């Protein structure tokens, strides 16, 4: 088999079948190449060759145990891919190995097949290209491809050309009636399948009016009181504490916070500029005065880290869209660096170049979860609750709903109006008319505890 072709197509196989996280794919390809380039006795069996390779790797300076395990996974996945390439003429790809990572392709809960046929592999590759051509967000791309896989498994990998609107209706009804998924989950699946048929299969779904779909009831967002916000932030420190304060003080979404760049913080005018927010829109929001000095001190540390990266030949950040080609040197400029950078350099999935990306959003999520536990706040809340609290507390302070809409970046004021309902919920309840009656006129006499009790 052509090992060059095998290595070149290996990343696409891992990504299309979701056998590894995107940030790990390049590492797996490098371990696979190192395995193929390593000298080996041709008389050795494949398993013996792998054991010899791992033993030699473990003795290499600077290689840790987790890297040895990652190399082992890479080689096993490479072998699986080689077997699939050899058997591709048969049509059906084999099941992923038992050693595949935890986020490997999963079967539908009703027992559908968990492996992609050649036709579905090609269809999902086409859908991924279309999603990227339309500039859909990476998270939307992941969600849509996952729903396409689940739908294919539900239909037991029947060829895409043989699928009809009836299959889509039955699957959506299955989600609503049998799986009892949340309304938002079912709507996401509905939109993903509409995109799959309309854009990938070029067969728009015309009549889905009678599909059983879950109705989403009215839900109020979880909001902290001002005292709870103070307790929560008091249990946080360091970079994640600063991120949580900025999320609450500026009303940011999680990804808007972690993707902030140095140029987007305007200290002179006291504002934060959110670039490419939800809906690919820019907006301006507040920069809390209380965070000016902490942010300046934080950015001084980040700038020192950036200078150290430059001294080592790195220091280039990922640039959005095609700006990296238009301005080749802009990625090394201080203004484009992330406000909350990662602690490690990572290879870019597009070109393999080592860059310092933003910190993982899970770091802030875990920190808020731990702070909730420490503060004793018994609410099912998360990072986004800080944004809800920002809007509610502004409304409570008398800021107009239109201004809050602009700060949050909502398309419609109706979306922002939900915080008026939240405000009614957290205001003190109205007094009962019984409590307004004088005790003597109501036939009540105060008891010795200061309350009232009915007299004779």
What residues are annotated to the active site?
253, 278, 384, 387, 410, 419
Asked if 359 and 298 touch (Cβ cutoff 8 Å), the reply is: no
- Please tell me the distance from the alpha carbon of residue 383 to that of residue 365, in angstroms, as a whole number: 6
Asked if 245 and 380 touch (Cβ cutoff 8 Å), the reply is: no
- Please tell me the distance from the alpha carbon of residue 272 to that of residue 283, in angstroms, as a whole number: 9
Q: How many CB atoms lie within 10 A of CB 54?
A: 16
With left for phi above 0 and alpha for psi between -120 and 50, is residue 111 left, alpha or beta? left
Q: What are the residues facing 452 on neighbouring strands? A: 446
Long-range contacts of the stretch 264-267 (C-beta < 8 A, 24+): 264/339, 265/295, 265/299, 265/339, 267/292, 267/295, 267/296
- Please tell me the distance from the alpha carbon of residue 154 to that of residue 174, in angstroms, as a whole number: 10
Exposure of 386 in the CB half-sphere (CA atoms within 13 A): 28
Residues across the chain: 456
- Please tell me the distance from the alpha carbon of residue 168 to that of residue 204, in angstroms, as a whole number: 12
Q: Which residue has the tokens 């490479």?
A: 78
Tell me the three state secondary structure of residue 267.
coil
Asked if 356 and 308 touch (Cβ cutoff 8 Å), the reply is: no
Q: Which residues of 118-140 are buried (b: 16+ CB within 10 A; e: fewer)?
A: ebbbebbeebbebbeeeebeeee
Q: Which residues of 208-226 are buried (b: 16+ CB within 10 A; e: fewer)?
A: eeebebbeeeeeebebbee
Phi/psi at 446 (5° precision): -65, 140
DSSP per residue over 30-81, as a string? HHHHHHHHS---TTS-HHHHHHHHHHHHHTSTT--HHHHHHHHHHHHHHHHH
């Amino acid at each position: 088999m052509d090992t060059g072709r095998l290595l070149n197509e290996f990343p696409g196989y891992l990504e299309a079948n979701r056998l590894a996280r995107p940030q790990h794919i390049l590492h797996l390809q490098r371990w696979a190449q190192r395995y193929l380039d390593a000298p080996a006795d041709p008389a050795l069996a494949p398993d013996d060759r792998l054991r010899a390779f791992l033993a030699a790797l473990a003795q290499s300076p600077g290689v840790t145990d987790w890297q040895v395990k990652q190399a082992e996974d890479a080689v096993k996945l490479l072998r699986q891919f080689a077997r699939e390439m050899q058997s591709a003429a048969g049509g059906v790809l084999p099941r992923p190995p038992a050693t595949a990572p935890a986020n490997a392709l999963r079967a539908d809960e009703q027992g559908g097949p968990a492996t992609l046929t050649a036709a579905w592999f090609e269809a999902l590759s086409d859908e991924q290209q279309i999603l990227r051509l339309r500039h859909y967000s990476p998270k939307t791309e992941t969600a849509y491809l996952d729903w396409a896989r689940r739908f294919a498994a539900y239909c037991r990998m029947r060829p895409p050309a043989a699928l009809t609107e009836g299959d889509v209706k039955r699957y959506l009804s299955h989600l609503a009636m049998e799986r009892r998924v949340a309304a938002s989950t079912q709507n996401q699946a509905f939109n993903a399948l509409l995109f799959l048929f309309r854009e990938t299969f070029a067969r728009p779904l015309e009549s889905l009016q009678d599909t059983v779909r879950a109705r989403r009831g009215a839900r109020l967002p979880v909001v902290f009181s001002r005292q709870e916000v103070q307790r929560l932030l008091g249990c946080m420190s360091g970079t994640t504490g600063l991120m949580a304060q900025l999320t609450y003080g500026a009303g940011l979404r999680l990804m808007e916070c972690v993707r902030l760049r140095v140029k987007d913080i305007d200290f002179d005018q006291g504002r934060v500029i959110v670039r490419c927010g939800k809906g690919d829109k820019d907006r301006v929001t507040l920069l809390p005065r209380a965070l000016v000095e902490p942010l300046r001190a934080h950015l001084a540390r980040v700038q020192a880290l950036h200078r150290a990266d430059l001294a080592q030949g790195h220091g280039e950040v990922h640039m959005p869209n095609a700006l990296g080609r238009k301005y080749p040197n802009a990625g090394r400029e201080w203004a484009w660096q992330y406000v909350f950078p990662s602690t490690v350099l990572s290879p870019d999935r597009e070109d393999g170049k080592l860059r310092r990306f933003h910190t993982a959003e899970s770091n802030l999520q875990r920190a808020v979860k731990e702070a909730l536990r420490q503060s004793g706040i018994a609410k099912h809340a998360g990072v986004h609750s800080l944004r809800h609290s920002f809007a509610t507390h502004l409304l409570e302070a008398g800021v107009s709903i239109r201004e809050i809409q602009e700060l949050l970046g909502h398309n419609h004021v109706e979306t922002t109006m939900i915080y008026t309902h939240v405000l009614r919920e957290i205001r003190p309840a109205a007094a009962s008319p019984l409590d307004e009656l004088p005790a003597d006129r109501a036939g009540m006499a105060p008891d010795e505890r200061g309350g009232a009790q009915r007299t004779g």
